[in-house]
Amino acid sequence: MPMNVQANLAKIRKKLIRRAAQNLARGAGVRENFEQQLERFYDLLEQALTTGDPAWLDAVVYDWVNAHTQTDIVEGQKNATALLNILFTLTNEVARETLNKGEALDLITAVQPIFISSLDKAARLEMENRVAFFANEVASVQQKLERLDRSKSNFISIAAHELKTPLTLIEGYTSMLRDSSTNGDRGGNSDPLLRGVNTGIQRLRQIVDDMIDVSLIDNNMLSLNSQPLWLSHILVLLQKNLDEFLRERKLTLEIRRFPGSQEWLYADPERLYQAIQNVLTNAIKYTPDGGTITVSGRSLPGFVEVTITDTGIGISPEDQALIFEKFGKLGRADLHSTSKIKFKGGGPGLGLPITRGIIEAHGGTIWVESEGCDEKKYPGSTFHILLPVRTESSDPRLAKLFGDLTNPVEGTHVEEKTRTDHPAA
Ligand code: ADP
């Protein structure tokens, strides 16, 4: 390195620092402090020039990168790379103004690789800082969301238990009232007022039970009372129990016999009934009058798959994952209309999260397929429920029973296909 390069840098240094401070620092105090930093920078630049080692500038680059506030990081402003770029441009500018052409060129050629190496380090450090900062932000947002979800879940659990006590009281008194009016002139069950109260109580009981189920699922406390069962039996029972609603809405429910539906499955019959019922009542709710709901499935190695297809309004791709989250009810809350089976009559948005919780507690999965939501073309939706076929219970007594049941006695088969037609008039 020719000696005159260092000498020329020393010659332009004062002017350079003054100009940089004027350009970049506002206010006397800030400027003084910045000038001191620049003095240190050019001291180290001189050392780097003398030794040919750009690492002399590492310490100052490191300090500049780490001097940034969070706002600087978020906005990607006032960073060390920008500062180094400006200092290189100013060095270039002042060298051309102060030195002759040859000296200026020598100086710029000598400092350029040192600036490039420092820029490279600054950019790398800044990137690492930004990545660490945003990773931290993501973790803290995640924590906030988890806290929010916990408090939502706690609220549901407390509200459900608070509602349960007065509800049980109302149920008790209503039943006494029914009994006393049965003894009187008017028959208890035929009294329209009492029938109305009863329907309200049942709906409320359903909502409170759903809230309790959701908080059990949220806290991984859903316990299963598993036993050997036939899927086809559950489906036939559901068809019978939903018949009234199907009739009312002029819908056809076709339950096909499929491989796997006739084999013994080890699961909780009440919970499985509840899970499939939720999907079926949704299919009823979101299919216009006169539509068809088809239950079918297939047997897969180690699994049985149940599919529930409707000819309803369908679900848009972006909502397909959302509906399995609690309160994942779609549509506007102000247009919410509560109904068990009315076309598009909403509920509290707990049905599918409970269904998913039940299916997952069995080691299975649930998902939906639909071309999208279209209230004119009715593309429909297909819900898939995949259940593992467990052939053994952990309880040896049940395992024995299950072993006996896997060879069912003759005559316990169900019909090939059951169908309830309630076509539109
Ligand atoms: P709820 O029925 O109480 O609103 P769910 O958890 O059962 O809540 O369903 C969540 C949402 O998923 C519903 O509000 C509805 O928008 C959508 N959905 C569920 N099943 C269907 C279906 N078969 N067709 C169209 N949309 C559906």
pLDDT digits (tens, 9 = 90+) for 10-68: 999 999 999 988 888 777 777 888 899 999 999 999 999 999 999 999 999 999 888 86
This prediction's pTM: 0.65
Instruction: Transcribe 70-103 into DSSP letters.
Output: HHHHHHT-S-HHHHHHHHHHHHHHHHHHHS-HHH
pLDDT > 90 in the chain, percent: 57
Integer Cα distance of 420 and 239 in angstroms: 8
* Residue 329 Cβ contacting ligand 1 at under 6 Å: yes
CB 254 within 8 Å of CB 419: yes
Integer Cα distance of 297 and 364 in angstroms: 14
Structural tokens at position 149: 């979800």
pLDDT at 392: 62
* Residue 323 Cβ contacting ligand 1 at under 6 Å: yes
pLDDT in tens, 156-206: 889 888 998 899 999 999 888 888 876 655 555 567 888 888 888 998 998
Ligand 1 atom at shortest distance from the alpha carbon of 347: 3
* More confidently predicted of 130 and 374: 374
The residue whose CB lies within 8 Å of the most ligand 1 atoms, and thus the one to mutate among 207, 308, 329, is 329
Average pLDDT value for residue range 379-401:
77
pLDDT > 70 in the chain, percent: 82
Residue 359 pairs in a beta bridge with none
